[in-house]
Structure 1
Amino acid sequence: MSYVDDHNLFNEFPEHTDRIEYLWKQDADFATIAEEYHSLDKRIRGLQMSGIPTSDYYFEELKKRRCLLKDQLYHKIALPYSAR
């Protein structure tokens, strides 16, 4: 079995750990998106590690959705910093 990257938000944005924790507790929209992101990342990693045959189209769609969610989350994470 080969190594599979963990795209957990805390791994992706370690410099924003405090902000992520704060938003997860205080912003229901952020929490909903973050939960979907983490669930999707777990599913993608599970498929990568299991070797279960999956169509390239399906796998790429999952990764595109994860990327879209990550962009939405980053916008919420970084917005206050970019407004300075």
Structure 2
Amino acid sequence: MGIIALSGHAWGGPGPATGAMIMQVEHHDLHHEFPEYLDYIHSLKTASEQFGHMYDEYHQLTREVERLEEEDLPVDDFTIENMKKQRVWLKDQMYRMLVAHKKGV
């Protein structure tokens, strides 16, 4: 069976032992989100303490959201949505910093 993408998730075929559908979570690390900024990401991580903290927090949130979704752990939708909103906010802030860094601002 093929994979069907639904709202950021991909659903594969039945699981090997249970026959249940297996959810494959799309990964959101910055290197995949902004491949054109790889050098700038590395540069800002070392040059800007603020960017470094935001980078770490973004990846910590990403790992936690992916873990909750992959393991289908009991957590209310409000909690996951707030984590995702925080992750988007961090990504937006870091993107602005990357663009400014690229322009030499």
By the TM > 0.5 criterion, same fold? Answer: yes
Partner of 1:75: 96
Identical-residue share of aligned pairs (%): 32
Show structure 1 runs of 4+ deviating over 2 A.
80-84
Q: Can you list the C-alpha shifts for 1:18-52, whole angstroms capped at 9, x where unaligned?
A: 00010011111100000000000000000010011
Query: Unaligned regions of 5+ residues in structure 1, if any?
Result: none
Shift of 1:81: 4.1
RMSD: 1.5
Q: Which has the higher contact order (CA 8 A, sep 6+)?
A: 1
Q: Give 3-state SS (helix, strand or coil) of 2:25's partner.
A: coil
Shift of 1:83: 7.1
Partner of 2:62: 41
Provide the C-alpha distance between the structure 2 equivalents of 1:18 and 1:82, rounded to a whole number of angstroms.
13
* TM, length-normalised to structure 2: 0.75
- Look at both structures and tell me which one has the larger radius of gyration over its CA atoms: 2
Query: Unaligned regions of 5+ residues in structure 2, if any?
Result: 1-21
* TM, length-normalised to structure 1: 0.92
Q: Can you list the C-alpha shifts for 1:32-79, whole angstroms capped at 9, x where unaligned?
A: 000000000000000010011110111110000000000110010012
How many residue pairs match? The answer is 84
